[in-house]
Structure 1
């Protein structure tokens, strides 16, 4: 059985996950800023309905961020662990 790792590609994947997460959060922040003036003028049931939906979106965004954080950490740690295994294997021949 052959195992091959491209540590650079795995690190690039981790950086891509971080970048996607940052872009997503930036777009969500931009959207909130864009609708904020309208939301400020809403009253009554329209405001309440929007606030309830916004709370759901915020919760979903938080959950997605937690998942992306976990995936990024696992990818990064897995890459670091395999680099250590690779180094130890190489050193065993020295």
Structure 2
């Protein structure tokens, strides 16, 4: 059985996941800036309904960002573990 790991690809994947988490937040911030003037014109039930929906959206977005960040950390940890294993194996052969 052969296991082949591309360290650069794992590192890139970890970076991509981290950047994705940041991009999600930037997009949400931009959307909020765009909607803010419109929302301020709403009153009563319409405004309350929006804010209730926004709270749910914010929770889901925060959860998605947390998961994305954790995935990036897990990929990075796997990359480090594979590299450490390769170093140990190379040392066994005097490398």
TM range (shorter): over 0.9
Alignment of 1:17-28 (within 5 A): 17-28=17-28
Q: CA deviation at 1:64?
A: 0.3
**Once superposed, what is the RMSD of the aligned Cα atoms?**
0.8
Q: Which runs of 5+ in 2 are unaligned?
A: none
Maintained 8 Å contact 2:7/2:79: yes
Q: Secondary structure at the match of 1:5?
A: coil
> Residue 72 in 1 paired to residue 72 in 2?
yes
State how far apart, in whole Å, the 1-side matches of 2:36 and 2:42 are: 10
Per the normalisation by structure 1, the TM-score is: 0.95
State how far apart, in whole Å, the 2-side matches of 1:48 and 1:7 are: 50
Q: Which runs of 5+ in 1 are unaligned?
A: none
What does residue 15 of structure 2 align with? Answer: 15
Q: Deviations over 1:50-69 (max 9, x none)?
A: 00000010000011011111
What does residue 48 of structure 1 align with? Answer: 48
Per the normalisation by structure 2, the TM-score is: 0.94
Corresponding pairs, count: 94
